[in-house]
Chains A and B, each alone.
Chain A
Amino acid sequence: MDLLQGTLDLLVLRALTWGPMHGYDASRWIHDRTGGVLVVEYAPLYKALHRLERDGCVTGKWGVSENGRRARYYRLTQRGRARLKSEDADWRRYAGAVFRVLEPA
């Protein structure tokens, strides 16, 4: 299932609350968490990560992965947490509103 416009940032930020991880881990986490319903394409994922980094929501640093390869690790910053909190609330309100519309009267 394709992602809804504007939800990728939220998902990535949420993934990173588990601790520093690289892009692949983040995408796996989203995949597993949604039971494979949401599939994140790689290109948009990295666009999102870099955008978040520029905005100061995450910091990226090269490190060594569990299998000994060079990988870029992303970590949530204070600002990222704040952003997650507000987007989380926005999304819940939005989703709630959509549910209420769909609910049989």
Chain B
Amino acid sequence: MSVWFTYSLGDFIPFSIETYRAAIRLYGEENMLLCGLSLVAGLGLIFCARGYRGWGLRIGLVILAMAWLHGGLGFLDTRLLPLIPQIEPARWLFMTEAALLLLCALGPVGPCADGVSASLRWRGLLILAFAVLNFGLGTGIAPAGVPIGGFGILPDPTAVATLAFLLICRGWARLILMIVPLIWCVFALLLLMGMDAEPLRVAMPIAGIACALMALAAWVDRTSGGSPLDALGRSDDNNRGGQEYRDDKGEDPPWN
């Protein structure tokens, strides 16, 4: 038997859930203004996600890029990396994600949500609201009444909000943009499970992973004409087959 099988998940986590909660609380108390701004930005993101194309979705990508930058340079750098320096590469992944989001937001072909099934869209919006409005999952409210530890502050809700926002878009570009948040959600899930974190907190990365899987299933459906969801009887009525999304030249633009 490999020596790796003798480890438990908790053996890899060098701090306790109490320390993790305290790190979030302290960061929030030190950055109350940013917490407030992040909440406003998150609400703006939900508003942007209401549209199907145009500037709203582009602005949404910009908001997400800013959230990743702040998540990468803020909480991760000052609170999480000192506790677990082994995840230093995450910093560069966050930067990459922010750069890609900005590139897509400012690119010639903007994001598009036309033709995305209604059920997928609603799932995306609900998970987006969960990521933005979780209020730190019980981490607390700072003395000024600002919820701490939410979207744009912690990597977890930022990653989940990104995945949910991309779920309501279409095209292969979103799958590229989903890679980093998905990696983070898998890591966060293992981290939280290893610390025996409360179920609601663990639910956050699970929601993100679910977004990525739903997006992948929809993409498979679009490109192959059949979806794993069909077999489960959960395919949406509005799904009209992959060829509907291709342009006149038969090419496959990033957001179409």
Say if A and B assemble together: no
